[in-house]
Amino acid sequence: MRKIFMAIAVLAGLTFAGLPLQCLAQSVDVGIKDYKYDPSELKVKVGTVVKWVNLEKRTSHSILFAGPGGFESDRIFPGESWQRLFDRPGTYVYTCGPHPEMKGRIEVTE
């Protein structure tokens, strides 16, 4: 029981010390190559950070979440990445802003 309280105190200390909770989250990479997301569909747990990495040689992309509360990432140029923490369950469908034929889907479960 004491170990549990110590672990909670350490985690609380990290949070209050200004370190983001993403340091503690699971991370999954999605590659962007040949105008496709790879993998194009993911199933992850709440608290997972998904990082999109542009593996193209010349083309920039973005991650566009449509619908209520939707938003678009900044452009991701070759060799760059962008990430998002998924902190709520649900299905998140996305495309590439400049290339709407690129499609992806993330299912977030508890």
What is the rounded distance in angstroms from the CA atom of residue 60 to the CA atom of residue 23? 27
The reply to whether 1 falls in a domain is no
What is the rounded distance in angstroms from the CA atom of residue 105 to the CA atom of residue 110? 17
The reply to whether 86 falls in a domain is yes
Q: What is the pLDDT of residue 56?
A: 97
Tell me phi and psi for residue 51, to 5 degrees. -120, 125
- How far out from the chain centre does Cα 67 lie? 18
Number of domains in the chain: 1
The reply to whether 16 falls in a domain is no
The reply to whether 79 falls in a domain is yes
Q: Where are the beta strands (DSSP E) in the chain?
A: 27-33, 36-38, 41-45, 48-54, 64-65, 71-72, 81-86, 90-95, 103-109
pTM over 0.85: no
* pLDDT tens, the chain, 110 aa long: 444 433 344 344 444 344 454 455 799 999 999 999 999 999 999 999 999 999 999 999 999 998 888 999 999 999 999 999 999 999 999 999 999 999 999 999 99
The CATH number of residue 85's host domain is 2.60.40.420
Q: Does residue 42 sit in helix, strand or coil? A: strand
Q: Which domain holds residue 36?
A: 22-109
